[in-house]
Amino acid sequence: MLLTNHSHELCCEEVPLGRLAAEYGTPLYVYSHAELSGRARTYLAGTAHAHYAIKANANLHLLRLLASHGMGADVTSGGELYLALKAGFAPQQIIFSGVGKTAAEIRQALTADIQAIHVESPAELELVAHIAAEFGRPAPIGVRLNPNINAETHPYISTGMSEHKFGISMAEGLPLLRHAHTSPHLTPVGIAAHIGSQIRDLAPVSGSGRVAGRCGGRTPHRWLAPALCRCGRRVGH
């Protein structure tokens, strides 16, 4: 159990929190090594891989712990990419997501040889292709789709419906993947979907995965079917 009561004193991993507060002062953030390690192992126990969103908590000590268990990293800026590499996440297990990537950040990602850059618009795809041409090697890319799925969470943190501004529609996404497949400067390796945060029911996440899988299966000769499929995310309490 994460928190316990010993002799009327609240403890974390048998360590009295009052003692920590007296030693380090307050406010104080206390994290459980055992709890984080256990959850990391749980996520990695299945057939799918898990990428930790660096923006959730960029504490370098926590990142090093998660990287030591073999988790991947999901970054949304050049600064987060720097932290992920410094923490020891393998470059081939780092995904660069998010809108508004700068040319400098794309170059940083290609220099680090990360797993994939997830694009969110045709314009961003062309920018990645242009920069990859400078490097003389194709850039691994994923396309973020909008699966039009209700995450059944708070409307302000729901991002997977067609009325939301995030992601590319299915109608646009498949032609964009086909275009990337024909480009000498791009290698499509995955499909992404982000349907919201604080998700309490896994059914919308499963639905998002099925949509992405169908899209991958409809690519020519199903060349994308076995590749990276990222869905979710942010399951909450």
Question: Do the bridges between strand 94-96 and strand 9-12 make them parallel or antiparallel, or are there none, so unpaired?
Answer: unpaired
DSSP assignment of 139-157: EEEEEEEE------S-GGG
pLDDT of residue 153: 61
8 Å CB contact between 72 and 89 = yes
- Stated length of the chain: 237
Residue at 147 is within a domain: yes
CA-to-CA distance for 20 and 39, rounded, in angstroms? 24
Q: Is the pTM of this model over 0.85?
A: no
pLDDT above 90 for 6: no
150, 139, 66: which is closest to 108 by C-alpha? 139
213-230: average pLDDT: 52
pLDDT of residue 221: 44
Residue at 237 is within a domain: no
Question: Which is higher by pLDDT, 214 or 16?
Answer: 16
CA-to-CA distance for 235 and 222, rounded, in angstroms? 30
Residue at 219 is within a domain: yes
pLDDT above 80 for 50: yes
Question: Which is higher by pLDDT, 153 or 146?
Answer: 146
Burial class (CB in 10 A: 0-12, 13-18, 19+), 170: middle
Residue at 223 is within a domain: yes
Domain that holds residue 101: 97-230
Question: Which is higher by pLDDT, 214 or 9?
Answer: 9
The number of folded domains in the chain is 1
CA-to-CA distance for 50 and 230, rounded, in angstroms? 9
Say what percent of the chain tops pLDDT 70: 72
33-56: average pLDDT: 89
pLDDT of residue 226: 40
Q: Do you find a cis peptide bond into 233, omega within 30 degrees of 0? A: yes
What residues are paired with 158 via a beta bridge? 196
Residue at 148 is within a domain: yes
Backbone CA torsion sign across 197, 199, 202, 206:
negative
Residue at 47 is within a domain: no
100, 123, 117, 210: which is closest to 160 by C-alpha? 210
CATH number of the domain within which 111 lies: 3.20.20.10
pLDDT of residue 201: 62
Residue at 22 is within a domain: no
Residue at 5 is within a domain: no
